Chains A and B, each alone.
Chain A
Amino acid sequence: MNYYFSEELNDIRELCSEIAEKYIIPVRAQLDVENRFPAEIIRVMAESDLCGIYIPEAYGGSAEVFGGGSLALCVATEELSKACGGIAVSYAANALGAMPILLSGSEEQKQKYLPQLASGEKLAAFALTEPEAGSDAGGVKTRAGREGDFYVLNGTKQWITNGGEAQIYTVIAQTDPSRGARGLSAFIVEDGTPGFSYGKKEDKMGIRASSTRELIFEDCRVPAENLVSREGYGFIVAMKTLDRSRPGVAAQAVGIAQGAFEAAAKYASERVQFGRRIDSFQGIQFMLADMATQIEAARALVYATARMIDAGERKFEKESAMAKVFASDTAMRVTTDAVQIMGGYGYMREYPVEKMMRDAKITQIYEGTNQIQRSVIASAVIKETASGGGR
């Protein structure tokens, strides 16, 4: 489907496709097996100016060129995900880490951190999840107590994408435990800050090229100027960040699904059984038709949401959640069908689709499980109905 992209957006797609072909596809299987972070590939992306596409020009990026950067980030993430969801998320997680600064940071914080992220000189990560705080973000136990010009952080963050690889972390911690979610605050913590270390590196089912790691804070003194927004606003900072980043996960899901679809469609055109190409069988044809249709619908929803954000719409949590739910469920279904179409070959590591199926699963889980997304969507539509509206 033609989405009538600007030439600049097409540049992003072209460039990411070239990176995928030259740098990602040759190594994706190996990085998956070895659980290895694609540092070299991220460097290539940085040199191609891809790290700043969602950051405004005033902070070293080029978001304005693409009409805002949200769609740009989706296009890049989708295209990279076609080749490898794990490498793509290592790229996209930078935006997730940068988003709290971009959306809620002070001018000084933006000036200090965003240019380093736009150039790709440094990587970012976002740290909210804890062993006991997943969907229930209010359950964050990491404590940040004020001591003079510092906040002292104590606690453990879990499953942090880009953990150990990023240099700049936005961390959500409790400044007032008596207030639950309203007692949360967001902090920028730099790699190398005394008291800040990395724990267990996770051994995951999918997206294995990405780093997922524990962050450990033991009397970690963070300058008070690194508080993002105000004390007690951490939950809002986190929710605004996730609303903005969910289309990115949705784009990742669309890319993974597209990659699996293309592999399966090509296989079906070459595989001969009963003396015929298997794509001449209606059973396979209908599967391919459904896969293609679902992917296109997911893509259209993702792009429409991203365009809404780029246009300056302030309220998009419902659309953002819809895009994430629909695209990730699509990715899971399509990758499963891709494995099915390829049969025994699909199940083997020698072919890329079993990895895509493993990679797809996480998109239904992270950045808010699909159950949480449905709650968000439901509460929005119920509110709209109560106010006699809806769209």
Chain B
Amino acid sequence: MRMVVAVKQVPDTSEVRIDEERGTLVREGVPSILNPFDEYALEEAMRWRDQLGGSVTVVTMGPPQAEAVLREAVAMGADDAVLLSDRAFAGADTWATSHTLAKAVERLGGVDVVMTGKQAIDGDTAQTGPGIAASLDWPQITFVGKVRELTEDGIVAERYVEGGCEVVRSSLPVVITVLKDANTPRLPSLRGKMKARKMEVPVWGIDDLGLTPDQVGLDGSPTRVVRIMTPENPASGEIHRGEPEEIARLIVDQLLGNEAD
């Protein structure tokens, strides 16, 4: 089973602030980490590889320093890694990112399953996984909480959706996005860490992927971020004191009054 896990380097969101004037995230001094959801995708891919044989390749698109998350994934047990990095890729939205990642999957060739986390903790769009599937014209199963079956003939996965669980069967190749429910990611191993430090990570740019400048980065992105801000805190509530009946009447009146507005 040849599997690709698409991962993302994200700022540790517990430490990110917003620059409201410039409409960007303040990333200086904020540690970068492997998107936590992608760890579950990686673990899921590695478990099936350990059982069925085959390989797990991790791919990310990002600046040169994004290589760090690829090495982290290899330390955890991925077989190899590819970094998609090019000045032209800068400013990509989820459309351009998905398209670029899909091209990498095509170039790797013979891929049966692409896995990725359900979303990244910085953008929170949950669009890149589905975008890869759309770009490749492959079926997709999103929000996978459990992969029941994976064989050459196909995949059976449980989607944890609001109010229930859908069991979905698909042929291969397929793209799936993975939830935290799927597994417990393993720790890196010492051998993995050594391998990760020594390995050469191939870097693929726009030409390697057969893409043109209008398909990637800012130019290939239909989305424009108009404004970014921290929402204002909602006004604090009112506290009424008195007899329960009296307060209840007051609140009902207020609510009805508001509704009439």
Contacts and interface: CB of A to CB of B under 8 A. Distances in A.
A49 B194 CA distance: 11
B188 interface: yes
A12 B186 CA distance: 16
Contacts of A44: 187
A49 B191 contact: yes
Interface string A1-40: 0000001100110110011001000000000000000000
Contact of A65 (B186, B188, B194): B194
User: What is the predominant secondary structure among interface residues of chain B facing chain A?
Assistant: helix
Contacts of A258: none
A136 interface: no
A90 interface: no
A139 B250 CA distance: 88
Nearest 8 A/B pairs, CB to CB = A49-B190, A11-B193, A49-B189, A48-B189, A49-B191, A48-B187, A11-B190, A18-B187
Contacts of B148: none
Interface string A44-77: 1001111001000000001001000000000000
Contacts of A65: 190, 194
Interface in B219-251: none
Interface of B: 186-191, 193-194, 197
Nearest to A10: B193
Nearest to A18: B187
Contacts of A53: 190
B194 A48 contact: no
25 contacts: A8-B190, A8-B194, A11-B190, A11-B194, A12-B190, A14-B193, A15-B187, A15-B188, A15-B189, A15-B193, A18-B187, A19-B187, A22-B187, A47-B186, A47-B187, A47-B189, A48-B187, A48-B188, A48-B189, A48-B190, A49-B189, A49-B190, A53-B190, A62-B191, A65-B194
Contacts of A19: 187
A44 B184 CA distance: 12
Secondary structure type dominating chain A contacts: helix
Contacts of B189: 15, 47-49
A7 B187 contact: no
Contacts of B186: 47
B261 to A, nearest CB: 48
Q: Which one of A7, A15, A47, A53 has the highest number of Cβ atoms from chain B below 10 Å of its Cβ?
A: A15
Contacts of B191: 49, 62
A268 B188 CA distance: 34
Nearest to B190: A49
A50 B194 CA distance: 13
A257 to B, nearest CB: 26
Nearest to B75: A11
B39 to A, nearest CB: 12
A11 B71 CA distance: 13
A206 B191 CA distance: 33
Nearest to B197: A7
A49 B186 CA distance: 12
Contacts of B197: 7
Contacts of B188: 15, 18, 48
Nearest to A62: B190
A43 to B, nearest CB: 11
A12 B192 CA distance: 12
